[in-house]
Chain A
Amino acid sequence: MSQFLDPLLIMALALNFVALGVSRIRAVINAIALQGFLLGIIPLFLHPDIDIRGIVLVAVTIALKGFVIPAFLVHAMRGADIQHEVNPVVNFMSSVLLGAIGTGLALAFSYTLPLLEEHTNLLLVPVALSTVWAGFLMLTTRKKAINQVLGYLLLENGIFLFGLLLLDAIPFLVEVGVLLDLFTAVFVMGIIIYHISREFSSIGTENLSELKE
């Protein structure tokens, strides 16, 4: 059933651009949540003969990436009453363009990598890499702290996507550990964002450049 796989991946890829392009933070969160959800279900198509432990993993992933984390972020946002605009360093158009370029490069790079034959005609690696790239873009070109968290999520999504290639290679324990770590990280970041907004009454990182040299 891998014929469904590529459309899913394309969708995940498209969501990168949405995340980069939209101006409202809520929209970005939603995009990433949806992407997380897709990531969750992809294993089902990638490994048709999936065992119980895979199912559990899928469930955990969907729960965390698709619902818990986004919900938490929305909550943190509300708690820290953050204005809803993203206000980027470079404007949306160009960040989308950059994303596109990155995707191209990712494709190029991934074709140089020697893959297993069952993965060769699969978009998975390029999509993963371009998602990583998109995550970097968001991390580096957005002013608000929460956007950096989102960028980090995007990054993680990309890595996770690649991780799916070796679902049966990477032990279950590690996968879960990774997910838990991710969650904790975002959780702690959320708390800090909350503190930041209390401390500076805004989460624009321009306030966060006191320490230098």
Chain B
Amino acid sequence: MSEWLVLMGAVIVGASGFPGLLFRRSALAGQWLTTLLAVFGAGLGLMGVCWFVRTGETHAIVRDWLPQGIRLNVAVDGLSAIFLVPVFLISLLGSIYGLGYWKQTEHQENGRALRLFYGLLAGSMAFIVLARNGYLFLFAWEIMALSAFFLVTTEDDKPDVREAGWIYLVATRMATVFLFALFALLHTASGSFKLFALTESNSNVTPGMATAIFLLALGGFGIKMGIMPLHVWLPSAHATAPSHVSAIMSGVILKMGVYGLVRVTSLLPNPPLAWGAIVLALGAVSGVLGVALAVGQRDLKRLLAYSSIENIGIIMMGLGLALIGRSLGRPDWVILGMAGCLLHVCNHALFKGLMFFCAGSVIHGTGTREIDSLGGLAKLMPWTALCFIIGSVAICGLPPLNSFVSEFFIYLGLFDTLVDTSKPSFAVAGLAAAALALIGALAVACFVKAYGAVFLGTARSEHSRHAHESPLSMLGPMGVLAGGCLVIGLAPSLIAPALVSGIVTWAPNVADVGGRLAALAPLPWISIMGCGLVAGLWLGWSVLSSRLRSNVVEHASTWGCGYIAPNTRMQYTSSSFAQMLVDLFAWALHPRTHRPTPFPLFPQQTDFRTEVPDVMLDQAMLPTFHFVARLFTWLRFLQQGNVQIYLLYIFLVLVALLLWP
């Protein structure tokens, strides 16, 4: 039952864009129809997921499809269920958001194409998660990658959009190359395209082959997840895409990479310790560097994009912990790590979707993403501001919101690696907890900067001076996501069953996951403390406001420390705010600092700027590509247009082959 609901949902969402093609460019009806279809399909899908989580009953759907034993084989299980939630939720909200953000009447030239690929993207991702056949997985994977490309290049008349799209396309094709090899190897190992857990008995998988598969998965899915240093495509793509696209890219597409890695690791038998260690280390690095890069950004959406890298890092830390647990036979670590990993997947989808929606609303209201030309929006766009601050608190993993819970799991697991002294131990993992703490603190810095510079203080430019609040069609989805963050944060026990079934699917040999999880992580306490916190805040607030009511309250301009004419340009800019941190991480970020020395006695107007370009892209990837291209152009002399030489080639080949051993 559940699988049919999900399948139908996926198909409907995937096809939702096609009817819209039949409508006139200038008509809104097509957009409405598409949106309704998408909402309906996604709704069905979510129903299916809930059904599965409640009843747990499901059956695989298997049909013959293509020769060579390629069958249409889809099923829902714990892992799929967890990953299906973001897929359907974000695509549902995204298409509603689009009603206001990308109105057909305002974007006649590309609106229909956008919605077509939006639907395709969502549908294909649902299929990725459902696929139980390597070929089907690849198939859906590529559809996803390509529709994402078309979504990124929606406004392809802008050069930066074209460049972003191109980099994305190259990166995703690299990933696909890895996956081709990966699934072919899996086929060799298991003897069929069917994806099932390999063991010594049911497969001829050798340790070497398993490692190869793991590394290929890490490479292929890593690119898609944007692990450092494979993240090069991510920032520009997220920044230049329309915001509801950025939301689904960051919120869901990256998760498909995670899903792939999680799924493949679940298939391979007894992983060596190194795998977990690698994943954990990569996670820590991505987390710290990702957020450090985020702090330095001046483009709101680039900032969010880098913070996605950070969160992927956190997710990977969870996965790494779980892997370590599996190789050392510590069910506790498996459970905590996996719970953290899976829950953070959902959380990140919620709050990152929320943040990109907010960013979109800011762009919609002001027409710019430049943090330093915004400011003071909290008064003009109160609801967006509220959603943004909720998202920021969530993204920093602060209580009482959702991502605190997932990080809580991971922290517990990491601490446990130190506490549990029985051999063989892996206490070094404990250090990752410190890294996680650093990530948290940096995230606070990053999002205080973002919120402060965008919404607080006073307007820094005309853009933000004439901003206007977004329509309900955009605020609604944002509200829903913000609510989701709060609910999971206050009542994590609600989502625990889903997590449990996910963990069970990933590590079937761990007994009594539900019981252990309850024992390991005091979720009720989190709820209690969360509610306590909220109540306390409410109390404090009412105390303050009562005092304010009883006492006189005046309003004046900000105290300029004796300076009588403070003006908006005196505000701290985001660059200055981030400067100290950027300097701290200069060894990794190679920031470009524009710091003019004021001269002469009455200096001209000048400005201070720090830009943090992507080192990996600018100093590693692009140079390599250009070098190869130059090499190839040099090889062009082989074809000089001289027919005698051509005939000589034939002759030489002839001789060479005749002398073939």
Contacts and interface: CB of A to CB of B under 8 A. Distances in A.
* Contact between chain A and chain B defined by CB under 8 Å: yes
Interface of A: 89, 136, 139-143, 148, 205, 208-213
Contacts of B639: 212-213
Contact of A89 (B636, B640, B641, B644): B644
Contacts of A142: 644
Contact of A209 (B641, B647, B648): B641
Q: A136, A140, A142, A212 — which one has the most chain B CB atoms within 10 A of its CB?
A: A140
B643 A148 contact: yes
A136 B651 contact: yes
Nearest to B636: A213
A139 B644 contact: yes
Contacts, number: 32
Nearest to A208: B643
Interface of B is mostly: helix
A144 B651 CA distance: 19
Contacts of A208: 641, 643
A208 B646 CA distance: 13
B651 A205 contact: no
A140 B640 contact: no
Contacts of A143: 644
B642 interface: yes
Contact of B647 (A139, A210, A211, A213): A139
Nearest to A109: B658
A210 B644 CA distance: 14
A68 B651 CA distance: 29
Interface in B536-585: none
Interface in B630-656: 636, 639-645, 647-648, 651
Interface in B601-648: 636, 639-645, 647-648
A136 B644 contact: no
A94 to B, nearest CB: 15
**In the complex, the 4 A-B pairs of residues with the closest C-beta atoms, listed nearest first:** A209-B641, A212-B641, A213-B636, A140-B644
A89 B645 CA distance: 11
A209 B636 contact: no
A213 B633 CA distance: 9
Given A140-B645, A209-B643, A211-B641, 14 more contacts: A89-B644, A136-B651, A139-B644, A140-B644, A140-B647, A140-B648, A142-B644, A148-B643, A205-B644, A208-B643, A210-B641, A212-B636, A213-B636, A213-B639
A205 B642 contact: yes
B587 to A, nearest CB: 44
Contact of B640 (A139, A141, A148, A209): A209
Nearest to B650: A136
Contacts of A212: 636, 639-641
Nearest to A105: B655
Contacts of A141: 644
A213 B648 CA distance: 17
A136 B641 contact: no
Contacts of A148: 643-644
B647 A205 contact: no
Contacts of B640: 209, 212
A211 B639 CA distance: 9
A209 B642 contact: yes
A136 to B, nearest CB: 5
Nearest to B633: A213
A141 to B, nearest CB: 7
26 contacts: A136-B651, A139-B644, A139-B647, A140-B644, A140-B645, A140-B648, A140-B651, A141-B644, A142-B644, A143-B644, A148-B644, A205-B642, A205-B643, A205-B644, A208-B641, A208-B643, A209-B640, A209-B642, A209-B643, A210-B641, A211-B641, A212-B639, A212-B640, A212-B641, A213-B636, A213-B639
